[in-house]
Amino acid sequence: SKLTLPMLDGDNQNLADQKPSTTADSTNMERLETPILKTAIEAIPLLNLDNYSSWKNRVENMLDLQDLYDNLTKEKGTLTRSQDVQLRTILTSKLELSIHANVIDHTNEKDARAIWKSISNYFASSQSSNRARVFKELLRLRFNTGDIPGFITSIKTILARFHEVGIDILEDIVTYMILDKLPSALDNVVERITHSEKEIKPELALEQLRVYYNDQLAMGGGGSGSKNDPMALVTDSSRKCKKGAHNPLSGHSESNCWTLYPECHPVFPSKPSGSRTEATFPS
C-alpha cells in the first residue's frame, strides 16, 4: 500500500496560506467579467497629448478595482504572468498610435510595469525638456470665441500637467497669463476678476468665464448670438475679426485668420498713382 505521511499543523497552515496565491490570478480574471470593471475599462479614453490626467485617473480606478495599483505602479511591485498580460493588453489598447510610438518599443512591449513607467516618464517627468514642453502648451493656447467651455477645459488640463511635471508658478501670475488671452470684448469679465475681493487664482478666472458663458446662453433666445457662439451676443453683427480674436462668423477658418496670424496676410501690388480703370458699354 502507498505510504502517506501525516500532515503537521504547520503544513496545514502553509497550504492555507498558499491557497489564495494559487487562485489570485483566476479571481482577478473573474473580476474582469463584472459589469463595474467592464465599465471602468471602457471608460478609459485613448491617451493623447491633451488628456493624460483624466486617462491616468481612469486607469488608476481600474487598477484599484483589481487591487493591482501597487503591483503596477510601485517600485517594488510585482505582477504574475497573467496579471502582466492582462494589464499590458489594456494599457496598449488605450494609447493613440502617436503615443504608442513614443512610449513602447522592443525593450518594454512585453512588460506592463515597464510600459507604465515609460508612459509616466513621457508625460510626468520633471526633466527640464518635459517641463518646457508642458509650459509651451499654456503659452500657445488661444482663446476660441466660439468654444469657451473648451478653453476652460484646456486650461484645467494644462494646470494639472503643471502639477504632474513639477512646474511651480505663483497662482496670480498664471491667472494674469490666462486673462491676457481674452479678447477686449471680455474686458468686463477681466475687470470682475482683477477687482474681486477673492484671491487671484486660476480657479477664479475660470469660474467667472463659466458664469459669463452661462449668462450668454441664457440670453441666447433674444439676441443675435447662439449657443455655439455666445460671443456674438456682446459684439456687433459685423463678421470682421478683432485684434487677437477670430470671429467664427467671418467666413474663413481660424487657421487662416489674418488677425491671429498676420504673416498669412497676402501682399497686394500697389496701383500706380493716378491710374484709373474705365469701362465702356455698348449703346
**Domain spans of the chain?**
26-124, 128-235
pLDDT tens-digit map of 87-99: 999 999 999 999 9
CB atoms within 10 A of CB 214: 13
Q: Report which of 24, 130, 31, 50 is spatially closest to residue 90, judged by C-alpha positions.
A: 31
Q: What does the pLDDT read at residue 160?
A: 87
Q: Report which of 60, 208, 202 is spatially closest to residue 148, judged by C-alpha positions.
A: 208
Q: What does the pLDDT read at residue 237?
A: 43
Report the chain's mean pLDDT, rounded to a whole number: 78
* Residue 229 bridge partners (DSSP): 226
Orientation angle between helical segments 9-31 and 81-93, nearest 10 degrees: 20
Report, in this order, helix, strand and coil percent for the chain, each rounded to 5: 60, 0, 40
Q: What does the pLDDT read at residue 149?
A: 93
pLDDT tens-digit map of 153-192: 999 989 988 988 889 999 999 999 999 999 999 999 999 9
Average pLDDT over residues 66-85: 95
In angstroms, the CA 83 to CA 112 distance is 9
244 Ramachandran zone, left/alpha/beta (phi>0; psi -120 to 50): left
pLDDT tens-digit map of 109-122: 999 999 999 999 88
In angstroms, the CA 216 to CA 15 distance is 68
Q: Decide: 200 and 175 in contact? Cβ < 8 Å.
A: yes
In angstroms, the CA 218 to CA 147 distance is 16
- Percentage with pLDDT > 70 across the chain: 66
- Please state which of the ranges 4-8, 40-44, 145-149 shows the lowest mean pLDDT: 4-8
Q: How confident is the model at residue 224 (pLDDT cuts 50, 70, 90)?
A: very low
Average pLDDT over residues 266-275: 51
Q: Decide: 161 and 52 in contact? Cβ < 8 Å.
A: yes
Q: What does the pLDDT read at residue 130?
A: 80
In angstroms, the CA 236 to CA 258 distance is 20
- In this model, does residue 62 exceed pLDDT 70? yes
In angstroms, the CA 159 to CA 202 distance is 9
Q: What does the pLDDT read at residue 133?
A: 85
Q: How confident is the model at residue 18 (pLDDT cuts 50, 70, 90)?
A: very low
Q: What does the pLDDT read at residue 33?
A: 60
Q: Which residue spans within 67-219 are E strands per DSSP? A: none
- In this model, does residue 8 exceed pLDDT 60? no
Greater pLDDT, 147 or 259: 147
Q: Decide: 196 and 190 in contact? Cβ < 8 Å.
A: no
3-class SS at 244? coil
* Residue 95 bridge partners (DSSP): 47
pLDDT tens-digit map of 225-264: 444 444 444 444 455 666 666 665 555 666 667 677 766 6
Q: How confident is the model at residue 69 (pLDDT cuts 50, 70, 90)?
A: very high
Q: Decide: 179 and 193 in contact? Cβ < 8 Å.
A: yes
